[in-house]
Each structure stands twice: as structure tokens, then as C-alpha cells.
């Protein structure tokens, strides 16, 4: 199987944007083509990661629209919807297209337009992924986070403040990300005094609602140097996808994300490494509690110990394992279909030495993109080519 | 359903339907295929059982057609010593007392299901009203009865 390289990447400004989904996708797509030094009609496969452009905006058929706007005709196109993990699933589809030999040049663009909707409406669009027996009770993704955070704190005797420190860390990282929705530090008191959203979680435990897009260009590793200098591409050394129960309360251990465990096991095996070999990671911190769960279920820390790593600064930008150097979904924002793509964008920047003030020492990076409340997960491991 | 809304006039008692499979396991909600590929062989009415609260939250910002605030709990049912399958749990709203105040619950508290004719307003949110039921079971502390 052919190893797959990433030779170009882009992301738009995340936040409240005037642009609609077609324009957001085209903005990121055009920038990624330019970054890789290729034209639209060089692209053989074009994937769009998007959860709900029809529900949010009444615009469907976005891959066709994007192919036309970028003059990428007659590329094969498809929309990848896996809810919040549409981006990661898109990385998987793009990787698969090149690894299989079906495409020699693939572009992935993830994007979502959300902020024109009220918070209640946007929350309901996202909550529509739930099973009818959950939806009729008015459950939302934030309420799953509140339920799980309470159980985690109770089970592992973790202090409430440790969750707040995830928000403080990721906001601090986001200050140095020019594309982030929030570039503002917050202190722990601000987090702990913010309005209650889903007891025990408060406003600053949650990512915002965001418009934005991000894009990646993929080709076989064997030809990557024909497009860009050798230190300007990174290689996908392992990737895995996995699915957990649709009904969240049916999981054997509600504080374990089985999809993270299973997808990362596949990715580690493919890459021939273990969690200790990872130098930098982007985790799906849609809610602060998710950073604890993923950091444990990826094997970085023992079960129930992830909160201690945050308390001890292990996951700070200058710590032993920097997590969410981009600011994470928490400060960068979470335009659903774009988020998993933007995670890989950050790892790509780190591995090619282009992360600017966010730069850390890293040869191996990992991105974990989670859909639903751990319902669908893609874990991607990348290596620098330096 | 609509003509049966009054509890006293309801012809059939609402069922809190869970599925029983040929390996002895039970799931809520029912699935066409059970754990480890097992085949469905029957129905259990969880309305007959008490459970204990695994965790709870109060959601302050709720979607269209949902009460606000909305206290939710995940409850694990006590199906007796004869049951040794995977835990049977349900997510549900916490019920309100006679004054309309939501009961306070905590982890480990014993609760029982109580039927509600409408848990959220059909059609107010994005889900097609005809695609699913909107009645169901809330939970209330056993000691308060």
C-alpha cells in the first residue's frame, strides 16, 4: 500500500463570517491549491467534509459546487458526513483514495457555516444525530458532556478546577493562532465563574459556534518531492477509524470512548509506534472533559489520570506532550466539518516547522477527531519528513 | 395517541419497551440485532423496575420545544439477581413534583420511571414530528412517593 503525503494545507479565519458555505469552501480550497503549487484541474479526487449544509443553509451538493468554483472538473467528488468527525472521516477518505491508487492527487476541504443560526437552533441541528429515545428528552451534546463530566469527577476524584485548566491552556495557545476565533487568554476564575450551561460545566468549558473552512492536498509519498521541497511535506504513517454505540447510555463504561481506543489502536499499529512516541497532539476538545477522555483513551495517560497531566503542565505547549497547540476547538472554534481537517492542518504546520510562535519540537504528531459524543472517531498519525 | 392523552382514559398502559435477546441480554432501546449478534426473543417493560442514578446534569440552554432548564439523568435499572447481561440503562428527564419543581437527584439515588405524555414539543425542533414518539418516561426519586 502506497504511503500518503500531505503537500499543501490551508485554513480560513475561523469565527463569525459573512461568507456562506460555498464561499468558505472555495476560500480554503483555493489557498490549499496555491500552497501545494497545483491547479484545480490537477485534482483527481475532491472530498468535502461537511455535516449539515442542507440543514443549516439549504445548500446541498457542495462538492459539485466547489469543483466548479475551483475549476477542478472533472474530478471525482463526494461529501463526507460523519457529524463532528466529518473532517477526520474526510482525511480517511482522502488517504484511502491515494493509498489505494485510485487517485494520484486528492484534495480535501472541510467547512461549515453555522453562526447565522441561533445557539438553540444550531444545538438542535447537532442534537439531531441522537437516537429518538435520546432526542425526545431534549438531550444536547453539551448535556452529554455535563453527564459525563460529573461521572468522571466523581469516579476519579478529580477536582472541578482541572477541567477549567483545559480551557485556560487552550485559550492561551489560541492567542498565537491567527486563524482562531478567540485570541484571548482567560484565567481560571473567569472559567469557574462563567454561566452554568450543563451542570457542572460552564460556558468556558464549551467550544463556540463557528464558521470556517480548512483544506489539505494529498499525493503518494513517492512523488511528494516533485511538488514541494522535502521538508515541506509530512506523511500519514497511520490512520484508523472506529464507531461506538449510537445510544450513548449503552456504553459499558461511560467515561471511556471506545471509538478513540479502537481507532488509535489501528493507527498505532499501522504507524508501528505507541502513544509514548507522539510528540504533539490535536484532540477534539469540543468540551473540556473530552480532552481528558481522549488523552486517556489514546494511551497518553492511565485511565482517570488525564486530569493530573493538565494540572502538572504536561500538556502545555512547553510540556512533555503539548496538546492542542492550535488552541483546540475551544479557542480556535468548531465549524463541524472543518474541525478534523484543521486539526491535521495544525499537525502539518508543526511537522514542517511552520507553526510560528506555536512551534514545538515534533517529529510525530497525532490528531483525534470525534463525532457525536464519541460515536465516530478518526485517529491520524503523521510523521515529519525531515 | 392524541385521543389517549389523559392518563385515566388511556386504554393501554404505556410500556417502557426494552428488548430481550436469546443470549439473555436486554437492551434499551431495542435493536434489530442484539449484543454479540443475538436474536430478539421478547420485550421487557422497564416501567416495572427501579434503578439508580449513574449521573445527572441540568441543561440551562435547551433546543426549541424543550423545557428550560432540563435536568437529565442516566439511570441503571436493577433487574434482579437473575439478570447477568450487560447493564441496562436509560437517559431520561428528571420528573417534576406536584408544585412543578424538578426533583433533586444525585449519583446513586434510587429512582422509578413515571410516564409523561409529551417530553418535548413535536415539530418545534428539526426532527420530523411523525418520525418518532414524543411520550416516554421520566425518573423520580423513590423516597418521594
**pLDDT tens-digit series, residues A226-265:** 999 999 999 999 999 999 999 999 999 999 999 999 999 9
CB distance from A136 to chain B under 8 Å?
yes
End-to-end CA distance of chain A: 22
- Residues B112-119, mean pLDDT to the nearest whole number: 98
B82 burial (CB, 10 Å; 0-12 / 13-18 / 19+) is exposed
Task: Report the residue of A56, A133, A199, A247 to disrupt the B interface, i.e. the one with the largest count of B CBs within 10 Å.
Answer: A133
Q: Would strands A45-49 and A76-80 be described as parallel, antiparallel, or unpaired?
A: parallel
C-beta pairs of B94-101 under 8 Å, 24+ apart in sequence: B94/B56, B94/B138, B94/B139, B94/B140, B95/B138, B95/B139, B95/B140, B96/B138, B97/B140, B97/B144
Interface of A with B in 112-131 (CB under 8 A): 119-121, 123-125, 127-128, 131
Cross-strand pairs, A260: none
Contact A142 B72 (CB under 8 A): no
Digit-coded pLDDT (tens) for A46-103: 999 999 999 999 999 999 999 999 999 999 999 999 999 999 999 999 999 999 999 9
Q: Checking phi first, is residue A71 left (phi over 0); if not, alpha (psi -120 to 50) or beta?
A: left
Query: Cβ contact (<8 Å) for A143 and B72?
Result: yes
Confidence of residue B7 (pLDDT cuts 50, 70, 90): very low
On whether any CB of chain B is under 8 Å from the CB of A15, the answer is: no
CB contact at 8 A, A325 and A201: no
pLDDT tens column, A19-38: 999 999 999 999 999 999 99
Which residue in A has a C-alpha nearest to residue B106's C-alpha?
A: A150
Asked if A146 and B57 come within 8 Å (Cβ–Cβ), the reply is yes
Residue of chain B whose Cα is closest to the Cα of A131: B29
**Nearest residue on chain A to B76, judged by CA atoms?**
A249
User: Over the stretch A257-315, which tens digit does the pLDDT of each residue have?
Assistant: 999 999 999 999 999 999 999 999 999 999 999 999 999 999 999 999 999 999 999 99
Angle at A376 between CA A267 and CA B90, to 5 degrees: 135
> What pTM was computed for the model?
0.96
Query: By CA distance, what is A248's nearest residue in B?
Result: B91
Partner-chain residue, chosen from B55, B66, B136, that has the shortest CB–CB distance to A147: B55
Q: Cβ–Cβ of A148/B55 closer than 8 Å?
A: yes
Contact of A154 with chain B, judged by CB distance below 8 Å, is answered with yes
| Residues from B in contact with A at Cβ < 8 Å | 27-29, 54-67, 70, 72-74, 86-87, 89-93, 107, 119-120, 125-127, 131-134, 136
Q: How far apart are CA A337 and CA A118, in angstroms?
A: 19
Complex ipTM? 0.95
Euclidean distance between CA atoms A340 and B99, whole angstroms: 47
Give pLDDT, residue A2: 87
- Residue of A137, A140, A144, A208 to mutate for B, most B C-beta atoms under 10 A: A137
pLDDT score of A82? 98
> B81 by DSSP, 3-state: which?
coil
Q: What is the pLDDT of residues B84-106, one digit of tens each?
A: 999 999 999 999 999 999 999 99
Chain B residues close to A150, C-beta within 8 Å = 55-57, 107
Cβ <8 Å between A138 and B91: no
* Backbone phi, psi, residue B47, to 5°: -60, -15
CB contact under 8 A, B132 and A136: yes
Write a three-state SS string for B103-122.
CCCCCCCEEEEEEECCCCCC
pLDDT 10s digits, B16-69: 999 999 999 999 999 999 999 999 999 999 999 999 999 999 999 899 999 999
Measure in Å the smallest separation between the Cα of B55 and chain A Cα atoms. Answer: 6
> Which chain A positions have a beta carbon within 8 Å of B92's beta carbon?
137
Closest residue, chain A, to B123 (C-alpha): A136
CB contact under 8 A, B119 and A136: yes
Is A255 in CB contact (< 8 Å) with chain B? no
> Is pLDDT above 80 for B2?
no
Interval A108-163: pLDDT, tens: 999 999 999 999 999 999 999 999 999 999 999 999 999 999 999 999 999 999 99
Amino acid at each position: 500500500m502506497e504511503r500518503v503525503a500531505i503537500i499543501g494545507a490551508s485554513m480560513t479565519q475561523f469565527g463569525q463570517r459573512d461568507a456562506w458555505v460555498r464561499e468558505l469552501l472555495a476560500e480554503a480550497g483555493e489557498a490549499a491549491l496555491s500552497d501545494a503549487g497545483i491547479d484545480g484541474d490537477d485534482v483527481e479526487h475532491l472530498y468535502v467534509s461537511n455535516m449539515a449544509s442542507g440543514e443549516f443553509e439549504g445548500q446541498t451538493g457542495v462538492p459539485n459546487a466547489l469543483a466548479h468554483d475551483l475549476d477542478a472538473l472533472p474530478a471525482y467528488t463526494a461529501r463526507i458526513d460523519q457529524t463532528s468527525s466529518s473532517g477526520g472521516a474526510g482525511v480517511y477518505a482522502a488517504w484511502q483514495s491515494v493509498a489505494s491508487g485510485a487517485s494520484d492527487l486528492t484534495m480535501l476541504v472541510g467547512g461549515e457555516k453555522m453562526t447565522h443560526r441561533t445557539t438553540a437552533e444550531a444545538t438542535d441541528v447537532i442534537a439531531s444525530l441522537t437516537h429518538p429515545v435520546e432526542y425526545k428528552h431534549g438531550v444536547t451534546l453539551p448535556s452529554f458532556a455535563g453527564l459525563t463530566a460529573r461521572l468522571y469527577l466523581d469516579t476519579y476524584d478529580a477536582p472541578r478546577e482541572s477541567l477549567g485548566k483545559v480551557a485556560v491552556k487552550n485559550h492561551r495557545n489560541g492567542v498565537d493562532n491567527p486563524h482562531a476565533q478567540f485570541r484571548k487568554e482567560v484565567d481560571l476564575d473567569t472559567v469557574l465563574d462563567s454561566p452554568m450551561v450543563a451542570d457542572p460545566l460552564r460556558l468556558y468549558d464549551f467550544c463556540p459556534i463557528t464558521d470556517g473552512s480548512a483544506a489539505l492536498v494529498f499525493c503518494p509519498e513517492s512523488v511528494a518531492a516533485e511538488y514541494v521541497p522535502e521538508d515541506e511535506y509530512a506523511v500519514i504513517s497511520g490512520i484508523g477509524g472506529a464507531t461506538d454505540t449510537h445510544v450513548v447510555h449503552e456504553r459499558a463504561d461511560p467515561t471511556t470512548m471506545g471509538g478513540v481506543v479502537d481507532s488509535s489502536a489501528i493507527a498505532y499499529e499501522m504507524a508501528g509506534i505507541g502513544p509514548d512516541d507522539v510528540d504533539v497532539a490535536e484532540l477534539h476538545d469540543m468540551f473540556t472533559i473530552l480532552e481528558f477522555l481522549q488523552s486517556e483513551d489514546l494511551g497518553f495517560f492511565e485511565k482517570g489520570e488525564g486530569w493530573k497531566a493538565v494540572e502538572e503542565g504536561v500538556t502545555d505547549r512547553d510540556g512533555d506532550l503539548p496538546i492542542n497547540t492550535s488552541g483546540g476547538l475551544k479557542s480556535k472554534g468548531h465549524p463541524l466539518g472543518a474541525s478534523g481537517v484543521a486539526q491535521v492542518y495544525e499537525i502539518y504546520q508543526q511537522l514542517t516547522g511552520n507553526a510560528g510562535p506555536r512551534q514545538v519540537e515534533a517529529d510525530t504528531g497525532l490528531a483525534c477527531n470525534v463525532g457525536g459524543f464519541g460515536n465516530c472517531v478518526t485517529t491520524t498519525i503523521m510523521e515529519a519528513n525531515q | 395517541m392524541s385521543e389517549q392523552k389523559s392518563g385515566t382514559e388511556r386504554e393501554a398502559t404505556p410500556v417502557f419497551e426494552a428488548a430481550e435477546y436469546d443470549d439473555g441480554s436486554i437492551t434499551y432501546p431495542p435493536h434489530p440485532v442484539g449484543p454479540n449478534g443475538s436474536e430478539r426473543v421478547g420485550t421487557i417493560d422497564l416501567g416495572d423496575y427501579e434503578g439508580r442514578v449513574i449521573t445527572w446534569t441540568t441543561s440551562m440552554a435547551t433546543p426549541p420545544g424543550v423545557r428550560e432548564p432540563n435536568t437529565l439523568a442516566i439511570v441503571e435499572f436493577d433487574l434482579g439477581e437473575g439478570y447477568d447481561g450487560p447493564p441496562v440503562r436509560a437517559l431520561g428527564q428528571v420528573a417534576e413534583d406536584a408544585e412543578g419543581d424538578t426533583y433533586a437527584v444525585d449519583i446513586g439515588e434510587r429512582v422509578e420511571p413515571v410516564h409523561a405524555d409529551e417530553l418535548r414539543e413535536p415539530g418545534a425542533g428539526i426532527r420530523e414530528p411523525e418520525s418518532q414518539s414524543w411520550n416516554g418516561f421520566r425518573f423520580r426519586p423513590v423516597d418521594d412517593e
